[in-house]
């Protein structure tokens, strides 16, 4: 399993036209080809640059990673803060939205998913 953690994400919420930003973690199981780290970061940027929903962004990244290198499985997690949430009240200042998308072996195998979550420091 290849994991790249803490890729910075800056995007714009399409509901509120306000920024959301945070970190993206990508794991995949190569079937030969691997990505350079900067290539993965560029893919994230490419999809983040448009008006987005965090859920859709997460899914789009997982699909493009799966297809680009014909990976056996992919897992993507995005943890982000949304200005549209933060501006609603003091108590929302520190809330983070977490979204995940798992495909292929990451979806089929609990062990693979657990390995991914533990390597990025989360519980499955
Ligand atoms: Zn919003």
Structural domain harbouring 115: 2-119
For residue 16, being part of any structural domain is answered with: yes
In a domain, 60, yes or no: yes
In a domain, 124, yes or no: no
Please report whether residue 113 resides in a domain: yes
Burial of 67 (C-beta count, 10 Å sphere; 0-12/13-18/19+): exposed
d(CA 54, ligand 1 centre) in Å? 9
How many other C-beta atoms can be found within 10 angstroms of the C-beta atom of residue 112? 21
Sheet holding 18-29, edge to edge: 51-52, 2-13, 18-29, 73-82, 97-104
CATH number for the domain harbouring residue 113:
3.30.1130.10
Q: Report CA(11)–ligand 1 centroid distance (Å).
A: 11
Q: Which residues are catalytic?
A: 13-16, 54, 82, 84
Domain count across the chain: 1
Q: Cα of 63 to ligand 1 centre, how many Å?
A: 23
User: Tens of pLDDT along 6-57?
Assistant: 999 999 999 999 999 999 999 999 998 888 889 999 999 999 999 999 999 9
pLDDT tens across 60-78, in order? 999 999 999 899 999 999 9
């Amino acid at each position: 399993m290849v994991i790249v953690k803490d890729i910075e994400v800056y995007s714009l919420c399409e509901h509120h036209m306000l920024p959301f930003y945070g970190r993206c973690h990508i794991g995949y199981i190569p079937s030969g080809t691997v990505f350079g780290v900067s290539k993965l970061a560029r893919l994230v940027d490419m999809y983040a640059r448009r008006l987005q929903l965090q859920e859709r962004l997460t899914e789009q990244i997982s699909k493009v990673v799966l297809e680009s290198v014909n990976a056996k499985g992919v897992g993507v997690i995005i943890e982000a803060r949304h200005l549209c949430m933060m501006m609603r009240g003091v108590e929302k200042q520190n809330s983070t939205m977490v979204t995940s998308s798992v495909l292929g072996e990451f979806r089929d195998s609990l062990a693979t998913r657990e390995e991914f979550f533990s390597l990025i420091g989360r519980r499955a």
